[in-house]
């Protein structure tokens, strides 16, 4: 399995070789930029949720207290700030 860094380096090498041989590479670079934008927009929601989860874990804005009920344990969430 090729890593993302290796794939990026291979693409840069191929573009460099093509440019040295006299082939116009501006359209290839535009396609690579468009693909990068599409992938970034596709992952936008997932990355926002992931970042939000990390912030909640890091700052811990909630605290909870457990209480034993007659049938199960109940948790009460309270805001710290």
Q: Say how far apart CA 75 and CA 60 lie, in whole Å.
A: 16
Phi first, then psi, for residue 31 (nearest 5°) are -65, -40
What is the chain's mean pLDDT, rounded? 85
- Taking CA atoms, 11 is separated from 4, 6, 14, 27, in Å, by 11, 9, 5, 14
| pLDDT exceeds 70 at position 5 | yes
Q: How many domains in the chain?
A: 1
Predicted confidence at residue 1, as pLDDT, reads: 58
Containing structural domain, residue 75:
4-79
| pLDDT exceeds 70 at position 34 | yes
pLDDT digit string (tens) for 54-66? 988 888 777 777 7
């Amino acid at each position: 399995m090729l890593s993302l860094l290796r794939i990026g380096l291979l693409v840069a090498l191929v573009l460099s070789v093509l440019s040295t041989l006299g082939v116009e590479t501006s359209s290839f670079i535009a396609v690579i930029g468009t693909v990068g934008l599409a992938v970034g927009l596709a992952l936008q929601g997932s990355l926002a949720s992931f970042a939000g989860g990390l912030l909640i874990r890091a700052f811990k804005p909630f605290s909870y207290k457990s209480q034993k009920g007659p049938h199960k344990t109940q948790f009460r969430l309270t805001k710290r700030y």
